[in-house]
Structure 1
Amino acid sequence: MNRADDEFGEEFSTFIRASGRWRDTMPEALLERWVRFVDDCEHGYPLGAEDYFNDLTSRDALERALNSPQLQRFPELSQLRKNVERVDSRFRALLIPDVFPGIPGVSWWARGMVKAARKRLVEDVRRDYRVSLNEIE
């Protein structure tokens, strides 16, 4: 890591912490949390709805950072955006779009819902939102 990377990481982390996030505040850590969540979804998200929606907050935080005027001066943000977009394309393929139409379209990751999951999420979503998902064993 060089000095520019350190400066970006510090500024990014400060920005993310100021938005209320207390863990995974460095760019690599936040991206990795998003990657792990998408990996879990590709194999059948194993936890319940509360955890699922909580895990989605990593993408919310990434979006805020990617659009932050104070971070735009860092060239590292461009690479982070490319990495996020690669993971996003994997996640989009897993979604039933527009399940939650009250959520703005720019937050497509929260507006949609995975098509398939493990039993706990399938049951929670059916009970709480009347949405049917395919169950992965």
Structure 2
Amino acid sequence: MDLLERLARWRSFADDCLDGYPWEVEEFLMDVNSRSTLQELLAASREGTSVDHRLIAAELEAVDASLRPIFNIEAFPKMSPSEWWLRYVPSYAARDFCRDFKSAYGVSIAARSKFDLDVDAMTQLSANGAAPADICLKVAEERWYVAERPALLFRACQRSLSIDRSARRALWSWATGKVSESGLRAALGK
């Protein structure tokens, strides 16, 4: 990845954290380590490029500023205070992340996320008898939080719906635009 791609990834990570980080602990650790790489690349590429480093540095500072208020739980005190993204973790995240982080590192994080709210609502729809395909289509049509990205939608459906491996493949194909609504209905049932 080049500098701009890394910055975009850091921005996406920040958005995820602000909404309640919905991914796995391993992905979180890769994401925060990518911030260190971004810092190194920015410093190393100041010469001989056409990239406006002042704009990138300003954007990086803006993203960091959005994260600092929620990165307030000190999880790794041996890390340098100047690398706050490695030393602290968000004060809230998705339930699974919180459980796994507590298990791995002994640090408690509040379970609060848009992802969990959507999963809970999807689970309730399923418990009320809604068909899996109808739930997926409702989520997409109403542009719920989990419908913002195919991987989030897929993850939410896995957690809230009882579907087999074949249906999960069809779900992924639909979420990524490779299968139509009728194909989703055929795979998941009406």
Describe the superposition over 1:74-131 as per-residue Cα deviations: whole angstroms up to 9, x where unpaired: 5711111000000000111111253211111221111001100001110111111111
RCO greater where, 1 or 2, for CA within 8 Å and sep 6 or more? 1
How far apart, CA to CA, are the structure 2 residues paired with 1:65 and 1:77? 11
* Correspondence 1:83 to 2:59: yes
Distance (Å, rounded) in 1 between the aligned partners of 2:63 and 2:92 = 18
Is the alpha carbon distance of 1:36 and 1:123 closer, same or farther for their aligned partners in structure 2, counting shifts above 3 Å? same
- Distance in 2 (alpha carbons) for counterparts of 1:45 and 1:32: 17
8 Å CA contact 2:73, 2:91 repeated in 1: no
For structure 2, the 5+ residue unaligned runs are 117-190
Structure 1 unmatched runs, 5+: 1-24
TM-align CA RMSD: 1.6
Distance 1:28 1:67 in 2: 14
- What does 1:15-30 align with in structure 2 at a 5 Å threshold? 25-30=1-6
1:48-127 matched pairs, under 5 angstroms? 48-68=24-44, 70-72=45-47, 76-127=52-103
Report if the CA contact (8 A) 2:71-2:89 is conserved: yes
Flag the structure with larger Rg.
2
User: Is this contact kept in 1: 2:70–2:90, CA < 8 A?
Assistant: yes
Describe the SS at the equivalent of 1:105: coil
Q: What per-residue deviation string (whole Å, max 9, x for no partner) do you get for residues 54-91 of structure 1?
A: 111221111112332x5256571111100000000011
- Is the CA contact 1:97–1:108 (under 8 Å) kept in the aligned structure 2? no
Question: Normalising by the residue count of structure 1, what TM-score does the alignment of the two structures yield?
Answer: 0.74
